[in-house]
C-alpha cells in the first residue's frame, strides 16, 4: 500500500520534471527545420501554415560566400554505399589538402530525417530527385553558389536546367542517373518476348514464359505501386484514389506469383536464377551482368508502358560546417574526367556532357539502355505527392494482406 | 554436481542430442560463411576455388577497418556501462523496496518493447533538441557521433542486462548474504565475495546479450551517429544494397575470431580468479562438488 | 515487533522503521544510476515521441505540433493494420514456442554440466551472433534455397528438391535463429541456481523424474521462462528484416509498417501512435502476467 502511494507520488514528481523539459524541446522542434512548412507555428498561433505558398521554401537560406576551389576545412560526405570511387576521394584529398570523412546510407528515407533534424555535421549529401524537393521545402539544403562551381556548365543541357524538382539548378548538381525497370534472363525468355510490365502483372504472359514464382518486385511502396500504375496506363504520381485502388488490387492478385519483394538482392537473385525477371535499378543490374561470365545472357530495359527515371544529386546541407569545401567537392566531381571515372566505377549513367567521351566502351552500351526505346512522354520522375504518400504506403501494405 | 541434477539414461541421451542439434543449427550458417569467405567466386553460395583475396581486400579497405574499430569500441563501452548499471538496477529491484520502484520497473521494460525505428527517431530528436538547448544556454556545441551512439546503446542494453540478471536473482534466497553480514563482513565485502559470485552467471549472460545487441544494431546507430562514426552493421547494411560479396563473409570471420580470442581470454581469467577465490575464502561457491 | 518497549530507548518499532528507511535509501541509491540514466536518456526522449503521436503530418511529411488531435490513433483501427498485427503475433507466438521447446532442454542440459562445460555451452550459443546479422540471414538464404545443403540432403535421400526460400517456414526458421539465445540465456541463469537438494529430496520421496521436473524444476525456473518468452516474443513481433530477407516480404507485418510510417510515408504521428499502443499493450500484458502467475512461485 505504502509503495503504491509512494510510487504514484514519484510518478507525479517525475512528470512535473519531465513536462517543462519536453515542452522546451518540443518548442525547439517547432522552430526547427523539419517543418519549415509551418514556420514557428506553435510560437504564434495566429500564423496560418496553409497560407504558405506551396513549393516555395519558407526561407531561401543563405548561400555560401566562396570562391572557386576555396576550401574552409575537412569534408564530411554522406552518400549511398558503393556510390563513390575511393580513388576519387583520395584524389580530392590530395589536390585540396583536406581530409574526407565518408558515411553511408541505404535509402533517401533513412537520410532525410537525419539531415532535417539539423546539426548532422555533414557537408554534402546525395539525395534523389523527389527527396530534393522535400529537402528544399524543409529548408534543409542551401542554394548553390555557382561562382564556386565553374564546372556546372559541363552538365548536359537537360540536366543543367529544367529538372522538375529544381528547375533552375539553384540547389543541386546532378551526380548520376538511371532508371527503374526490369532485368531479364534471356536464356529462359528467348529473344522474342513482350518488353512489358506484363511479364510480372499479366497471368497469361507469366504462364506462357514459365515465370510464376520466378519474378521479384522491389520492396518499396512508391516504386512497386508505380510499376502497377504504369502497367495500368496511369501516372506513377497519381493522386486518384480509384487508380491507386486498381493498382492495389492488381498487386494483390500478383503477390502469389512472386518469388519475393526484394530491394537488396534482386540482382544476385537473377544472377543465380532464383528469379528470371527482376524489378530493380539499372546500375545494379548492369554491374551484375557486366561482372558475370556471360553478360549476353541478360538484358535490362524500361518496359514500353514507361517507368521511373531518377537522378541523384549533390547538395550542400543548410548547416554544413564547411560549405566552401563542399562547393569545391561538387566542382571536382563535375569535372569531365572525374565524372567519367565515376560512371566507369559504378555503372550508372553520367549527366556530365564533358564525361561522355571518356566512358569505357564496355560500359557505355549498358548505360544507354536505361531509358532506351521508351516514349519520353511515358517516363516519369517520382514526385512527392504530399499527403497521398500515406495512401501509397497503405496500399502497398494492404495489397500484401 | 548432485546425482539427481545429472540426468541419466534416455533423458541424458535426448538432452545431449538436443544440445548437439541446437549447436548444429546455430553454427550451420557460420560454417557456410567461413567456407565461402575463401571462395573465389563473387556470388555468395557459388564455390569459385580457394583464395585469400577477400582477406587481402579487407586488409586494404580502410573504411571497413574503421567501421570494425568503431563497432568494437562502441560495443565494449556500452556493454561495460550497461552491465554495471543493469546489474545494480536488478539487485535494487529484486532485493529492495524504494521510492518509484514500480515506475522504474516499467521503465526498464520499455526499451525491450519499443520498435527499433521508434527508438531511433526519438533519440535523434532528443539529441538534436538537447544539443540546441545546451548551445542556447551555455554556448557549447555538442555534435552527434561516437558518444551519442554509446549513450543510446547503453539505454537499450541496461534493460536487457537487468532482465537476465533478475531472472538469476529472483527467488534466490538471501541467507548467505545475511550470514556474511552476521560475520561482520562489510557491505562491499559481502557483495564482492558472496552476492557477486552467486549472480555471476546472470551478469555474464546479460553482458553477452548486451555485447551482441550492440554489435548488431543498425537502425538506432544510424540515426544517432555523426560524421566518421559509422559502425560495421550500418556499413554492411548499405553494402548489401549493392552486393553481397564474400568480402562481408571475410569481415564476419575476422569478427568471429576476434571475439573467440576475447572469450577464451576472459574464461581463462574467470577460472583463474575463481581458483584464487576458492583458496582465499572457504565459501561454498555456486558449484558444490 | 515483539521487542519489549523500554522508556528512554527507541522502541522496537522505531528501530525497525529506521532500519526499513535505511534499506529503502540503500535500494534507491543502488537503483539511482540506472534510474536517472533511463529517465534522462529514455523517458524524456520517449515523451517527445508521445507528443508527436498527437501531432499532425504536414503536407511535405514534417510534423506540425499545432492543433493536437487523436487522428493518428483513430487510423489504427483500419483492417489492414489489424491484420498485420495479428499476422505478426502469430509468427511471434510460433517463434516463442519453438524457442522454448528447443531452448529449455539446452539450458537444462548446460546447467547440469561441470562449470567448464556449462560456460562453454553458454558462450557457444552467443558466438555465432558476433558475426553480422545480415550476413547470417544471407547465409541461411544459401542453405535453404534449391541447390543448397538442405536440398542436397533431401535429394540424396530420394525425397526430391526442397525449396524453403521465401516461405513462411523460412520466416519462422529465421526468427527462431535470431532469438534463440534470448531464450537460452535467462533460462540458463534461472535453472543454474536451482537448489538440487530439493530435487534429491523429491526423488527420495519416490517422485518420478518427470514429476520432480514438473513439480520442482519447472516452477523454480519460471522466472527464466517468463523473461525468455518476453525477450523472444517482443522482438519477433516487431521483426521485419529477417521476414523480408528469408520470407520475401510477401506478407505485410507490423514492424515493417511502423518503419514505413516513419520513413517512406514520413507519417511520424501514425508511427508514434502505433508504437505507443503496441508498447502499452505489451507492458500491460507483462504486468498482468507477472501479477497472475510470476510472483507467487
Residue range A78-102: average pLDDT?
Answer: 94
Share of chain A above pLDDT 90, in %: 75
Residue C250 in this model has a pLDDT that exceeds 90: yes
Residue A31 sits at the chain B interface (C-beta within 8 Å) = no
Grid cell, residue C194, equals 536451482
Which residues in chain B (76-115) have CB-CB distances under 8 A to chain C? 84-86, 88-89, 91-93, 95-101, 104, 106-115
Distance from CA of A139 to the nearest CA of C (A): 12
**pLDDT given for residue A3 in this prediction:** 34
Of B2, B6, B126, Cβ closest to residue C48: B126
Neighbours of chain A (3+ CB pairs under 8 A): B, C
State which residues of chain B have pLDDT below 50: 1-2, 281-289
CATH code of the domain covering residue A262: 3.40.190.10
Residue A85 and residue A346 in contact, taking contact as beta carbons nearer than 8 Å: yes
User: Which residues 208-247 in chain C show a CB within 8 A of chain A?
Assistant: 244-245, 247
What single-letter DSSP state applies at residue C41? I
Distances (CA, A) of B100 to A70, C25, C287: 58, 12, 16
Q: CA–CA separation, B250 vs B57, rounded Å?
A: 9
**CB A387 to CB C270 under 8 A?**
no
pLDDT at B266: 73
Q: Tell which phi-psi region holds residue C68, choosing left (phi > 0), alpha (psi between -120 and 50) or beta.
A: beta
Whether C252 sits inside 8 A of A389 (CB atoms) is no
Q: Is C267 on the interface with B (CB under 8 A)?
A: no
- For A270, the 3-state DSSP assignment is helix
Mean pLDDT rounded to a whole number for chain A: 86
A49 contacts C64 by C-beta, under 8 angstroms? yes
Q: Which chain A residues contact residue B46 at CB under 8 A?
A: 272
Q: Name which of A48-52, A206-210, C35-39, C282-286 the model is least confident about.
A: A48-52
DSSP labels, A100-161: EEEEEES-HHHHHHHHHTS----SEE--BHHHHHHHHHTT-EEPP-GGG-GGGGGB-HHHHS
The more confident residue out of B10 and A326 is A326
What's the CA gap between A151 and A314, in Å, rounded? 13
Q: What is the pLDDT of residues A258-302, one digit of tens each?
A: 999 999 889 989 988 899 999 999 999 998 898 888 889 999 999
Query: Would you state the pLDDT for residue A329?
Result: 98
Specify the DSSP element, H or E, that contains A316. strand A308-317
pLDDT at C131: 86
Q: Which residue of C has its CA nearest to B110?
A: C279
Cβ contacts of B231 within 8 Å, gap of 6 or more: B67, B70, B71, B74, B149, B217, B221, B225
pLDDT class of C205 with cuts at 50, 70, 90: confident
Enter the C-alpha cell of residue C237. Answer: 513481433
Three-class secondary structure of residue A313 per DSSP: strand
> Looking at the domain assignment, is residue A166 inside a domain?
yes
User: Do C228 and C187 meet the contact criterion of CB atoms below 8 Å apart?
Assistant: yes
Among A316-320, B27-31, B121-125, C141-145, the least confident range: C141-145
Chain pair B-C, CB pairs under 8 angstroms: 313
Question: What are chain B's partners, defined as 3 or more CB pairs within 8 angstroms?
Answer: A, C
CA dist A388 and A226 (Å) reads 13
Sorting pLDDT into bands at 50, 70 and 90, what band is C210?
confident
Locus of grid cell 518469388:
A259
* Structural domain count of chain B: 1
Nearest C-alpha neighbor of A312 from the set A353, A344, A278, A343: A343
SS3 A380: strand
- Taking only Cα atoms into account, the Rg of chain C, rounded to an integer number of angstroms, comes to 25
* C43 chain-A contacts, CB cut-off 8 A: 14, 18
User: Domain range for residue A163?
Assistant: 75-177+310-367
d(CA C291, CA C297): 11
Residues A224 and A254 in one domain: yes
Q: What is the mean pLDDT of residues C153-171?
A: 87
User: Is there a single domain that holds both residue A292 and residue A327?
Assistant: no
Domain contains A215: yes
Cα–Cα distance, A54 to A303 (Å, whole number):
33
**Selected residue of A21, A22, A28, A290 to mutate for chain B interface (largest B Cβ count, 10 A):** A28
The H or E element that residue A279 is part of is strand A277-281
Residue B74 placed within a domain: yes
Strands A298-301 and A172-185, sheet pairing: antiparallel
Of A21, A37, A219, the CB nearest to C58: A37
- Please give the C-alpha separations between residue A16 and each of A330, B106, C276, in angstroms, as whole numbers: 49, 18, 21
Same domain, A192 and A297: yes
Could you tell me how far CA A355 lies from the centroid of its own chain? Answer: 22
Give DSSP secondary structure letters for A212-232. Answer: TT-EEE-S-HHHHHHHHHHHT
| A266 and A390 within one domain | yes
Say how far apart CA A109 and CA C266 lie, in whole Å.
8
Is residue A9 in a domain? no
Q: Which residue is listed with cell 518499532?
A: C13
In total, how many domains does chain A have? 2
Give the domain ranges of chain C.
Answer: 1-45, 77-296
Q: Which residue of B201, B203, B285 is the best one to mutate when testing the C interface, meaning the one whose CB has the most C CBs within 10 A?
A: B201
Residue A224 shares a structural domain with residue A320: no
**Within this chain, do residues A320 and A195 fall inside the same structural domain, yes or no?**
no
Same domain (yes/no): A297, A317:
no
Residue located via cell numbers 529484486: B94
Considering all CA atoms of chain B, what is the largest pairwise distance in Å, rounded to the nearest integer? 72
Provide, as residue numbers in chain B, all residues whose Cβ is less than 8 Å from the Cβ of C197: 2
Question: Could you give phi then psi for residue A52, rounded to 5 degrees?
Answer: -60, 125
Is-contact B221 B75, C-beta < 8 A? no
Chain B positions in Cβ-Cβ contact with residue C121 (cut-off 8 Å):
19
Mutation to test the B interface, candidates A21, A90, A119, A265, most B Cβ within 10 Å: A119
Phi-psi region of C161 (alpha: psi -120 to 50; beta: other; left: phi over 0): beta
* C-alpha pair distances (Å), C42 with each of A55, B82, C10, C49, C255: 36, 14, 43, 11, 20
Q: Kindly list the residues from chain C whose CB atom is less than 8 angstroms away from the CB atom of residue A42.
A: 65-66
Task: Give tens-digit pLDDT for C234-245.
Answer: 999 999 999 999
Smallest CA–CA distance, residue A126 to chain B, in Å, is 14
- Buried/exposed A22-31: b ≥16 CB within 10 Å, e otherwise: bebbbbbbbe
User: Are C186 and B287 an interchain contact pair (Cβ–Cβ within 8 Å)?
Assistant: no
Query: Could you tell me the pLDDT band of residue C197, with boundaries at 50, 70 and 90?
Result: confident
B30: chain C residues, CB-CB within 8 Å = 127-128, 131, 136, 139
More confident residue, A300 or C5: A300
The answer to the question of residue A295 being in a domain is: yes
Proportion of chain C above pLDDT 70, given as a percent: 94
| Domain ranges, residue B197 | 37-279
pLDDT at A53 over 50: no
CATH of the domain at B216: 1.10.3720.10
Chain C touched by A8 (CB under 8 Å) = no
Same domain, A277 and A389: yes
pLDDT digits (tens, 9 = 90+) for B155-189: 999 999 998 899 888 867 777 777 777 777 777 88
Work out the pLDDT band at A157, boundaries 50, 70, 90.
Answer: very high
| A268 and A389 co-located in one domain | yes
Q: Whole-angstrom Cα distance, residue C29 to residue A386? A: 51
- H helix or E strand, kind and range, residue C220: helix C218-220
ipTM for this model: 0.87
Instruction: Say if residue C7's pLDDT is above 70.
Output: no
The answer to whether C134 contacts chain B (CB < 8 Å) is yes
- Residue A224 to residue A236: CA distance in whole angstroms: 9
Measured CA distances, A164 to A154, A310, A376, A380 (Å)? 19, 11, 14, 10
Q: A128-132, A371-375, C48-52, C203-207: which has the minimum mean pLDDT?
A: C203-207
pLDDT of residue C292: 59
Question: Region A340-367: what's the mean pLDDT?
Answer: 92
Q: Mutual orientation of helices C168-192 and C133-144 as an angle, nearest 10°?
A: 130
State the pLDDT at residue A120. 94
Q: How many residue pairs bridge chain A and chain B with CB atoms within 8 Å of each other?
A: 113
Note the pLDDT of residue C36. Answer: 95
CA distance A120 to A147: 26
Q: Do you know the residue count of chain C?
A: 297
Answer yes or no: is pLDDT of A337 > 90. yes
- What is the C-alpha to C-alpha distance for residues A107 and C129, in angstroms, rounded to an integer? 26
Q: Is residue B19 part of a domain?
A: no
DSSP states of A49-117 as a string? GGGSPTTS-S---PPP---TT---S-EEEEEETT-S-HHHHHHHHHHHT--EEEEEES-HHHHHHHHHT
CB A311 within 8 A of CB A126: no
Same domain, A293 and A395: yes
Cα–Cα distance, B150 to B221 (Å, whole number): 9
Instruction: Decide if A222 and C264 are in contact by the 8 Å CB cutoff.
Output: yes
The whole-model pTM stands at 0.87
| Range C77-296 classified under CATH 1.10.3720.10 | yes
Does residue B58 lie in a domain region? Answer: yes
Query: Does residue B54 lie in a domain region?
Result: yes
Residues C129 and B27: beta-carbon distance below 8 Å: no
Residue A81 lies in a domain: yes
Task: Look at residue C4 and give its three-state secondary structure.
Answer: coil
Are both A206 and A340 inside the same structural domain?
no
| Cα(B124)–Cα(A119) distance, integer angstroms | 10
Q: How far is A105 from chain B (nearest CA, A)?
A: 6
Nearest to C226 by CA among C183, C194, C188, C193: C183
Which pLDDT does position C101 carry in this prediction?
Answer: 97
Residue A108's pLDDT is what? 94
The CA–CA distances, whole Å, from A267 to A365, B23, C43, C134 equal 19, 33, 43, 17
* Residue B3 counted as domain residue: no
Q: Nearest CA to CA, how far is C26 from chain B (Å)?
A: 8
Amino acid at each position: 500500500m505504502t509503495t503504491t502511494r509512494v510510487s504514484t507520488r514519484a510518478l507525479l514528481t517525475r512528470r512535473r520534471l519531465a513536462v517543462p523539459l519536453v515542452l522546451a524541446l518540443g518548442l525547439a522542434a517547432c522552430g526547427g527545420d523539419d517543418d519549415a512548412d509551418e514556420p514557428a507555428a506553435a510560437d504564434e498561433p495566429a500564423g496560418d501554415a496553409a497560407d504558405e505558398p506551396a513549393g516555395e521554401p519558407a526561407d531561401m537560406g543563405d548561400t555560401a560566400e566562396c570562391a572557386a576551389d576555396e576550401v574552409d576545412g575537412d569534408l564530411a560526405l554522406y552518400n549511398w554505399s558503393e556510390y563513390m570511387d575511393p580513388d576519387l576521394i583520395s584524389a580530392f584529398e590530395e589536390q585540396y589538402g583536406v581530409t574526407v570523412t565518408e558515411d553511408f546510407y541505404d535509402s533517401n528515407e533513412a537520410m532525410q530525417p537525419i539531415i532535417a533534424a539539423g546539426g548532422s555535421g555533414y557537408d554534402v549529401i546525395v539525395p534523389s530527385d523527389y527527396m530534393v524537393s522535400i529537402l528544399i521545402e524543409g529548408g534543409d539544403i542551401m542554394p548553390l553558389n555557382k561562382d564556386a562551381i565553374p564546372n556546372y556548365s559541363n552538365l548536359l543541357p537537360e540536366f543543367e536546367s529544367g529538372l522538375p524538382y529544381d528547375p533552375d539548378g539553384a540547389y543541386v548538381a546532378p551526380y548520376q542517373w538511371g532508371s527503374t525497370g526490369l532485368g531479364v534472363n534471356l536464356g529462359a525468355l528467348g529473344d522474342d518476348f513482350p518488353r512489358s510490365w506484363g511479364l510480372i502483372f499479366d497471368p497469361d504472359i507469366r504462364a506462357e514464359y514459365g515465370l510464376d514464382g520466378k519474378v521479384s518486385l522491389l520492396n518499396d511502396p512508391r516504386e512497386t505501386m508505380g510499376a502497377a500504375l504504369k502497367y495500368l496506363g496511369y501516372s506513377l504520381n497519381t493522386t486518384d484514389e480509384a487508380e491507386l485502388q486498381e493498382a492495389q488490387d492488381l498487386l494483390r492478385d500478383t503477390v502469389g506469383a512472386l518469388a519475393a519483394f526484394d530491394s537488396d538482392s534482386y540482382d544476385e537473385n537473377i544472377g543465380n536464377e532464383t528469379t528470371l525477371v527482376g524489378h530493380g535499378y539499372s546500375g545494379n543490374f548492369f554491374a551484375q551482368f557486366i561482372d558475370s561470365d556471360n553478360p549476353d545472357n541478360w538484358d535490362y530495359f524500361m518496359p514500353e508502358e514507361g517507368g521511373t527515371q531518377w537522378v541523384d544529386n549533390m547538395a550542400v546541407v543548410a548547416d554544413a560546417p564547411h560549405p566552401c569545401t563542399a562547393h569545391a567537392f561538387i566542382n571536382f566531381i563535375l569535372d569531365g574526367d572525374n565524372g567519367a571515372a565515376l560512371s566507369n566505377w559504378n555503372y550508372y549513367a553520367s549527366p556530365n556532357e564533358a564525361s561522355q567521351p571518356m566512358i569505357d566502351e564496355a560500359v557505355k552500351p549498358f548505360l544507354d539502355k536505361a531509358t532506351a526505346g521508351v516514349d519520353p512522354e511515358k517516363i516519369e520522375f517520382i514526385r512527392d505527392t504530399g499527403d497521398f504518400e500515406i495512401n501509397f504506403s497503405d496500399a502497398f501494405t494492404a495489397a500484401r494482406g | 554436481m548432485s546425482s539427481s541434477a545429472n540426468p541419466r539414461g534416455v533423458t541424458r541421451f535426448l538432452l545431449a542430442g538436443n544440445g548437439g542439434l541446437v549447436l548444429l543449427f546455430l553454427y550451420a550458417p557460420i560454417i557456410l560463411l567461413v567456407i565461402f569467405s575463401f571462395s573465389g567466386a563473387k556470388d555468395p553460395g557459388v564455390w569459385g576455388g580457394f583464395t585469400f583475396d577477400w582477406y587481402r581486400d579487407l586488409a586494404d579497405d580502410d573504411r571497413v577497418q574503421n567501421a570494425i574499430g568503431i563497432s568494437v569500441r562502441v560495443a565494449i563501452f556500452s556493454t561495460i556501462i550497461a552491465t554495471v548499471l543493469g546489474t545494480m538496477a536488478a539487485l535494487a529491484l529484486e532485493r529492495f523496496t524504494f521510492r518509484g520502484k514500480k515506475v522504474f520497473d516499467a521503465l526498464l521494460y520499455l526499451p525491450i518493447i519499443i520498435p527499433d525505428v521508434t527508438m531511433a527517431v526519438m533519440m535523434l530528436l532528443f539529441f538534436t533538441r538537447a544539443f540546441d538547448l545546451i548551445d542556447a544556454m551555455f554556448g557549447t556545441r555538442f555534435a552527434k557521433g561516437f558518444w551519442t551512439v554509446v549513450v543510446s546503446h547503453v539505454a537499450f542494453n541496461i534493460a536487457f542486462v537487468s532482465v537476465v540478471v533478475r531472472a538469476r536473482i529472483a527467488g534466490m534466497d538471501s541467507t548467505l548474504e545475511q550470514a556474511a553480514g552476521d560475520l561482520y563482513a562489510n557491505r562491499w565485502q559481502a557483495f564482492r565475495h558472496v552476492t557477486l559470485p552467486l549472480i555471476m552467471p546472470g551478469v555474464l549472460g546479460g553482458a553477452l546479450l548486451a555485447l551482441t545487441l550492440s554489435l548488431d544494431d543498425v537502425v538506432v546507430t544510424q540515426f544517432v551517429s555523426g560524421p566518421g562514426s559509422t559502425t560495421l552493421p550500418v556499413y554492411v547494411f548499405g553494402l548489401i544494397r549493392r552486393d553481397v560479396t564474400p568480402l562481408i563473409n571475410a569481415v564476419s570471420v575476422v569478427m568471429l575470431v576476434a571475439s573467440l580470442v576475447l572469450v577464451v581470454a576472459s574464461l581463462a581469467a574467470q577460472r583463474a580468479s575463481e581458483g584464487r577465490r576458492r583458496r582465499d575464502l572457504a565459501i561454498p561457491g555456486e558449484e558444490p562438488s | 515487533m515483539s521487542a519489549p518497549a523500554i522508556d528512554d530507548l527507541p522502541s522496537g518499532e522505531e528501530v525497525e522503521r529506521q532500519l526499513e528507511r535505511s534499506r529503502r535509501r540503500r535500494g534507491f541509491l543502488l537503483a539511482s544510476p540506472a534510474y536517472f540514466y533511463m529517465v534522462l536518456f529514455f523517458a524524456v526522449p520517449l515523451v517527445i515521441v508521445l507528443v508527436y503521436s498527437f501531432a499532425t503530418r504536414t503536407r511535405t511529411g514534417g510534423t506540425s505540433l499545432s492543433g493536437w488531435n487523436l487522428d493518428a490513433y483513430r487510423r489504427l483501427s483500419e483492417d489492414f493494420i489489424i491484420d498485420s498485427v495479428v499476422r505478426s503475433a502469430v509468427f511471434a507466438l510460433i517463434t516463442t514456442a519453438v524457442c522454448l521447446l528447443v531452448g529449455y532442454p539446452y539450458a537444462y542440459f548446460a546447467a547440469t554440466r561441470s562449470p567448464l562445460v556449462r560456460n562453454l555451452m553458454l558462450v557457444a550459443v552467443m558466438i555465432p551472433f558476433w558475426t553480422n546479422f545480415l550476413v547470417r540471414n544471407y547465409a541461411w538464404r544459401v542453405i535453404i534455397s534449391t541447390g543448397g545443403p538442405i536440398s542436397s540432403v533431401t535429394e540424396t535421400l530420394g525425397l526430391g528438391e526442397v525449396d524453403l526460400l521465401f516461405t513462411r517456414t523460412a520466416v519462422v526458421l529465421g526468427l527462431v535463429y535470431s532469438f534463440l539465445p534470448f531464450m537460452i540465456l535467462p533460462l540458463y541463469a534461472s535453472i543454474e541456481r536451482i537448489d538440487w537438494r530439493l530435487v534429491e529430496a523429491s526423488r527420495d520421496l519416490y517422485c518420478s523424474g518427470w514429476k520432480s521436473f514438473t513439480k520442482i524444476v519447472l516452477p523454480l525456473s519460471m522466472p527464466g521462462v517468463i523473461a525468455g518468452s518476453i525477450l523472444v516474443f517482443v522482438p519477433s513481433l516487431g521483426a521485419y528484416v529477417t521476414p523480408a530477407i528469408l520470407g520475401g516480404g510477401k506478407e505485410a507485418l507490423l514492424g515493417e509498417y511502423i518503419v514505413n510510417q516513419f520513413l517512406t510515408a514520413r507519417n511520424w504521428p501514425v508511427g508514434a501512435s502505433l508504437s505507443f499502443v503496441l508498447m502499452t499493450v505489451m507492458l500491460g500484458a507483462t504486468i498482468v502476467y507477472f501479477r497472475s502467475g510470476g510472483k507467487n512461485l
